[in-house]
Amino acid sequence: MNKPLNKSTHTVWHRATVTRQRREQKNTHKSVVLWFTGFSGSGKSTLAHAVEERLHQSGLNTFVLDGDNIRHGLCSDLGFSDQDRKENIRRISETAKLLIEAGVITLTAFISPFKAERATARSLMPQGDFIEIYCFCPLTVCEQRDVKGLYKKARLGEILDFTGISSPYEEPENPDLKIDTHQLTLEESVQQVISLLRDRNILPAPAIVHTLMQSTV
C-alpha cells in the first residue's frame, strides 16, 4: 500500500497546543488502535462492538470503524478489486491515526486480507499503538454461518473478488492476539481483548474504572 503523492504542496502541518498526551490525561486512559481482521462471518464486527460496549460502560472514549458502515460513506466510491481494497485500508488507516491523536480507543473491523496493507497500517502508528487481533474462524464455519448470505452469492458468481472464494486472505503470521471465535463464547473473546489491554497498560487503574462506572449510573 503505497502512500499517494501529496498534491497539496503548499500546506504546512499545524502543531496544536492540545496534544494527544493532554487528551489522554483528561480521558484517564491511553488511546490505541485495535485492528480486528478475519474472514467475513468470523465475528470481527460482533466482537469489536462488544468490546466497545464494555469499554464505554466503564466511561472510556471509544469508536468503532466498521467495514460495512465505512463503505456507506468514506469509501462508498470503492469496489472490491485488489486496488480498491488497498485504498479502502489506506483511508481507514489514516482515519484511525487521527482518532488515536484525538485520544480515542479506536476499534476497526475489516477483513483487510493483505499482509502488506496491515503492515503499512501498523507502520503509520507510533510503536505499540497498533494492536492486530486475528479473529480466527475456519472458512468452512464462516460459510456455514453465512450471516449476510454473501458466501452463497459468491459461490453462484453473483459477487466477484470475494475473500476466501475468489480472492485470497493472507493470514496474520504474528498477530498481537489470535482469538478462536468459532470455539470461544463472545464473552470469553471480549475478556481476552480486555486482558490484553490491561497487560499493555492501555486501560486506567481498576479504581479509576470503578469510579467512572459509578459516575455513569
Q: What is the radius of gyration, based on Cα positions, of the chain?
A: 18
For the stretch 209-215, contacts whose Cβ atoms lie closer than 8 Å and that sit 24 or more positions apart, written own/partner, are 209/58, 209/59, 212/28, 212/58, 212/59, 212/60, 213/57, 213/58, 213/59, 215/59
For 92, the enclosing helix (H) or strand (E) is: helix 82-101
Active-site positions? Answer: 112
- φ/ψ (deg, to 5) at 37: -130, 155
Alpha-carbon distance of 208 to 20, in angstroms, equals 20
Beta strand pairing call for 32-37 and 130-136:
parallel
Query: Can you spell out the DSSP letters for 36-72?
Result: EE--TTSSHHHHHHHHHHHHHHTT--EEEEEHHHHTT
Beta strand pairing call for 32-37 and 105-109:
parallel
Whether 209 contacts 105, CB under 8 Å: no
Alpha-carbon distance of 42 to 147, in angstroms, equals 10
